[in-house]
Amino acid sequence: MKPSEIILSKEQELLIEKLGNLNEKTGLQPAAARILALLLVTDSMELTFEQIHETLKISKSAASNAIHLLLTTNKLDYVTKLGDRRRYFHCKLIFWQDHFKQSLDQLRGYASILEEVLQHRTAETVVYNNQLKEIIDFIQFLDIELQLVYDKWQKSRV
């Protein structure tokens, strides 16, 4: 009966809520969203399973499922220590770059379907087709430019 709950300041709790809500809006399930937020906010960067489930007051099953999800989607990682079976979880900060790349892929997917749509449209709706073409052009322009922006960032960090 030793509680492993982490003590959070009022500000930290608030930040976890706010960050959690933002994470949810990216399509993450509530429990997972808060786990990521907790790991970003807490002073000890590594937390155990028990600390997570006690601090966030979620059941072991909810914690287990959410952690599994975060591990398989590459947002979470852990280390282990000799003579200690527990895993020490920490947020993979790199997941931001993955997120960026995924957005690019989604954008590309959209453009290619819109291209298909344009090819199948009647030639009679000239104005409309031109508008559609312009949107496709914009997405493709964006795709190229974003890649350049990303390269520029990488270079500035050498």
Partner DNA sequence: TTTTTAGTTCTGTATGAACCGAACTGTAAA
Partner DNA sequence: TTTACAGTTCGGTTCATACAGAACTAAAAA
Binding site for DNA (CB under 7 A): 29-32, 48-50, 57-68, 83-87
- Nearest CA to 144 out of 114, 95, 111 is that of 111
Stretches 6-14, 51-59, 61-69, 71-79: which one binds a copy of itself (CB under 8 A)? 6-14
By C-alpha distance, which of 109, 6, 119 is closest to 57? 6
Q: Where are the beta strands (DSSP E) in the chain?
A: 76-81, 84-91
Closest approach of Cβ 20 to DNA, in Å? 10
* b/e burial code for range 103-128 (CB count within 10 A of at least 16 → b): eeeeeeeebeebeeeeeeeeeeeeee
Which residue, 13 or 60, has its beta carbon nearer to a copy of itself? Answer: 13
Q: Segment 16-45, which members bind a copy of itself (CB under 8 A)?
A: 18-19, 22, 25, 27, 40-41, 43, 45
Span near a copy of itself by CB under 8 A; candidates 51-59, 65-73, 74-82, 146-154: 146-154
Out of 61, 80, 101, 153, the only residue in the binding site for a copy of itself (CB under 8 A) is 153
